[in-house]
Structure formats: C-alpha cells, structure tokens
Amino acid sequence: MTEPPSDILRRRWLAELLPEVAFEGWTEEAARAAAVRAGLTQGEQALAAPQGVLNLIDAFFDAAEASARAELAGADLSGLRVPDKVKRGLLAWLDALAPNREAARRAASRGFLPWGAGPALQRTWKVADMIWTAAGDQSDDYNRYSKRALLAGVLPAIVLYWADNPAPEDLDGFIARRLANASGLGQRAGRIVKPVLERFGKR
C-alpha cells in the first residue's frame, strides 16, 4: 500500500521537531523552525498538518499506537486475565512512547488546557479502544463504551506518572491501582445505568 504524501511529509517534520519538544514544548514556533530544518515548503506544511501542532501531536501518538498494536498482534495473551491483558496493552503503548518520554509528557500536559481538551479526549479514546481491542474485547453494547471511557479517563494520570520515569515495580503498582479504581467505578455505574438502558430496549 502506497503511503500518502501527507504522511511522509508529517514524518519528516516530526523527526526534526521531536528532539526540540523536550526543551521548547509543542509550540507553533518550534514547529515552524522544525519545518524549515526539514525543508518543507508552506504548501507541504499545509498538506502535512493543516491544523499545525495539533496534527503533529496526533501523528506522534498515532505512531506509538500503531507500534503497540503491531507488538500486541504478535504476542500470546491467551493465558492472561482480562485486567492483565489491558495492563499489557497499556505498557506496550508506553514502551512505544518511551524514546520520546518528555514529548509525551508535554503533550499530556497540554491536553489538560481548555484548547487542548477536545483533541486530547479523542486521542485517549483511540488508545483505549486499541488496548481493549488487543485484549480481545468484542462487546458492542453499553459495556464497549463504558470500558473505553473508563480507561481513557485514567490514561492522562498514568502518562504523567510514567513520564517521571518511576521504577518498573512502582509503575506496575500505580497502573494496577488506577485500573482497579476504573473497574470499580464501571461496576457501580453499570448497576445503575444498564437496567435503565434495558428498560428502554437499548441493549
């Protein structure tokens, strides 16, 4: 399958930008300087990232998501419990981000700002969907959306904790606690919401 020119240009742009993000952040100024170093014309910049930095952040996380998906596709998860499958998927994604840990932290921090909240929600939902799909979840009812929403809700906190490069055992414990909390919330919400949906025939 031929790679779209926009993807090629965006990858060139990111290669120049990522080393600077740790120092300059995900700023339009840093992106413009990186575009110059990458030799991109104004037209090529518009093709690669019409929304500027937001598109570049999306591309950064998309690349990590694709890498994690490929790793999980080749892994045997059949012997793991569902929570462990989810944790394995989450760790695979974090491992894919690890070469650019500071860039991931700055992107997660930016997502908490009002003008970044919408794109950040979309990104976290995509990652949650990738992780649950890799874990074998095939539900198509209320559970599908609640599982992804709850996981998406804890991802920013996990990323910010991971960004400080904790010891592996500390990270493992932190993730386990966040996932357990999310699972507990889901069970409580399900006891309330599911009967209402079933009453109205929305299974």
- pLDDT tens per residue across span 62-77: 999 999 999 999 999 9
Q: What pLDDT sits at residue 156?
A: 87
What pLDDT does residue 185 have?
54
> What region does 157 belong to: left with phi over 0, alpha with psi -120 to 50, or beta?
alpha
DSSP character at residue 95: H
The encoded tokens of residue 58 equal: 């999306």
Instruction: Report how far residue 74's alpha carbon sits from residue 72's, in angstroms, rounded to the nearest whole number.
Output: 5
DSSP state string for 148-162: HHHHHHHHHHHHHHH
Task: Give the mean pLDDT of 47-66.
Answer: 94
User: What are phi and psi for residue 27, nearest 5 degrees?
Assistant: -110, 155
Is the pLDDT assigned to residue 184 strictly greater than 70?
Answer: no
**What pTM did the predictor assign?**
0.85
Backbone angles phi, psi at 77, to 5 degrees: -105, 5
Q: How many Å separate Cα 144 from the centre of its chain? A: 18
Tell me the pLDDT tens digit for each residue of 118-162: 888 888 999 999 999 999 998 888 888 889 999 998 998 999 999
pLDDT band at 113 (very low <50, low <70, confident <90, very high): low
CA 48, CA 56: separation in Å to the nearest integer? 9
Separation between Cα atoms, residue 202 and residue 75, nearest integer Å:
35
Q: How wide is the angle at C-alpha 126 spanned by C-alphas 124 and 131, nearest 5°?
A: 95
